[in-house]
Amino acid sequence: MGKIGVAVGVLIFIIGLAVLVDDLHDFVAGTEFLHFLPDFDPYIIVEFQLHHLYIGALIMLIGLIIAAKYDE
């Protein structure tokens, strides 16, 4: 399961990267061309706006953890 686990981790990382890059247009001027997913309102958790940028970073971290776990 070593190579398959690493492949799954890398795939999850790439998905997280796509979500992160898509939401950059809210934070970095001039990156509107990277916006390809439909607009979503941020989730509000205890008055904190959880933007998809943060969710993408979390998904990327999970992908890295999975890939590192199965790396031989």
According to the model, what pLDDT value does residue 26 have? 72
Interhelix angle 52-70/2-22, rounded to 10 degrees, is 170
Tell me which residue has tokens 């979500």: 19
Residue 14: per-residue pLDDT = 95
CA 42 to CA 69: how far, in whole Å?
Answer: 31
What confidence score (pLDDT) does residue 65 get? 94
The whole-model pTM stands at 0.78
Per DSSP, 50 falls in state E
Instruction: Give the separation between CA 26 and CA 22, rounded to whole angstroms.
Output: 9
Contacts of 33 (CB under 8 A, 6+ apart): none
pLDDT of residue 44: 80
Summarised one tens digit per residue, pLDDT across range 9-67 is 999 999 999 888 887 777 778 877 777 777 777 778 777 777 777 888 999 999 999 99
